[in-house]
Amino acid sequence: MSAPARSRRVLVPSAGTGQSNNLVRAIRAADPAVGVVGVNSDRFYLTQSLADRNRALVPPSHPGFDDALCRVVEDERVDLLVPTRDWEVARFAALADRLAPRLFLPSATTIALCQDKQRLCDHLAAHGLPVPRTLPVQRLEDVESVVAAFAPGATLWCRSRFGSDSRAATPVRSAAQARAWMSYWEDMRGFPVSSFTLGEYLPGRDFACQTVWRDGRLVLAKTYERLDYIGGASRPSGVASRVALAKNVYEPGVLDVACAAIRAVDPGATGAFDVDLKCDAAGVPAITEVNAGRFLSSQSIFDFTGEHSLTDVFLQLAFGEPVTLDAVYDASPGWYMVRDVDLLPGVVHEQDLVRFVGDAAVPSRRYA
């Protein structure tokens, strides 16, 4: 009699963080038989990990990090690595020669393009896709001329061309404000002025489109609209990258633009791609980011609503299983996700909101 097949094992980095624990929950909901190995260089976070087994690594800046990671992969007989942050996506892709076939990621070239927001914007614009006009800044002395390239008095979005979590991003209305913001981040946080861009500020609706692809074929897509942000009230912009309240939406036009962007950056797209879009004052969506190779931290709304779990479909594709869905756009309007610090993501349907009766005369924007 043959021995029973070994259960598959998935490695989840940044173990113990909220984003990684959300991923572990989704993996277990998709397939309880999959074993999860968590890794992190921060042992405090490891104490909070939901993984079946946890391993401590040296920090990513340590010269032995790559070897340590590969040893864990071999020791734990890991079948698949699922990064949760941009730096992990880039690092794993750079180790493709050592980690293949345990990766289900876009190419390193695609990842590098998407992680440079200025290059991405220029690339998409050259393909005729809607993006906010964005210009690079090389020196503080260039700020006046860059600002002058936009309409007088226009609100501009000042941000670093690299990184995530809306780090170093804020709206500005003058060259003086832009210079002060860049100078502060250079002096206090080590962000060189040459890493900044200035672009059109888009005041409209804020969408996320999460997709999974294999060999240039869209397999599954879901969309939500951001309604509120964790920590947004304490930022000059009023927004942040971590969503506090989101609702699933059916927006075929948004999906069409997002898919066109992904095909423009990688005609043979494979793996997970998130496209962020914001609308201008006229309601026309434009692409602000393409996150290649990872899911959003707010993935729960896509895993626990609709006909299919994005994480489940991603795992099937990564493990080489055939996946054929009746409809690639799995929209499930009416579902909301609520998140906050020290709060597990909650998914609730709009029908449940009628259970709470109050005396508010004006509906909150949260339920718009």
pLDDT one-digit tens code per residue, 3-62:
445 589 999 999 999 999 999 999 999 999 999 999 999 999 999 999 999 999 999 999
Q: What per-residue confidence (pLDDT) applies to 277?
A: 97
Secondary structure of residue 360 in the 3-state scheme: coil
- CA 328 – CA 229 distance, rounded (Å): 28
Mean pLDDT, rounded, of the chain: 92
d(CA 5, CA 348): 38
Residue with tokens 């964790």: 230
* H or E element, residue 154: none
Name the pairing type of β-strands 80-81 and 335-340. Answer: unpaired
Looking at the domain that runs over 206-367, which CATH code has it been given? Answer: 3.30.470.20
CATH of 9-103, one of 3.40.50.1970, 3.40.50.1100, 3.40.50.20, 3.10.129.10: 3.40.50.20
Q: Which of 167, 117, 165, 127 is nearest to 290 (CA)?
A: 117
Cβ(93)–Cβ(69) under 8 Å?
no
pLDDT (0 to 100) of residue 355: 74
The residue ranges of every structural domain in the chain are 9-103, 133-200, 206-367
The separation between the first and the last C-alpha atoms of the chain, rounded to the nearest angstrom, is 60
The arrangement of secondary structure in 133-200, i.e. its CATH architecture, is: 2-Layer Sandwich (3.30)
**Which pLDDT tens digit goes with each residue over 232-277?**
666 666 666 678 999 999 999 999 999 999 999 999 999 999 999 9
pLDDT below 50 — which residues of the chain?
A: 1-4, 361-368
* Per-residue pLDDT at 3: 45
Residue with structure tokens 């699922």?
Answer: 82
| Burial class of 367 by CB neighbour count within 10 A (0 to 12, 13 to 18, 19+) | exposed
- Identical fold, 133-200 and 206-367: no
pLDDT in the model for residue 20: 95
pLDDT at 366 (0 to 100)? 46
Q: What percentage of the chain exceeds 90 in pLDDT?
A: 84
- pLDDT at residue number 98: 96
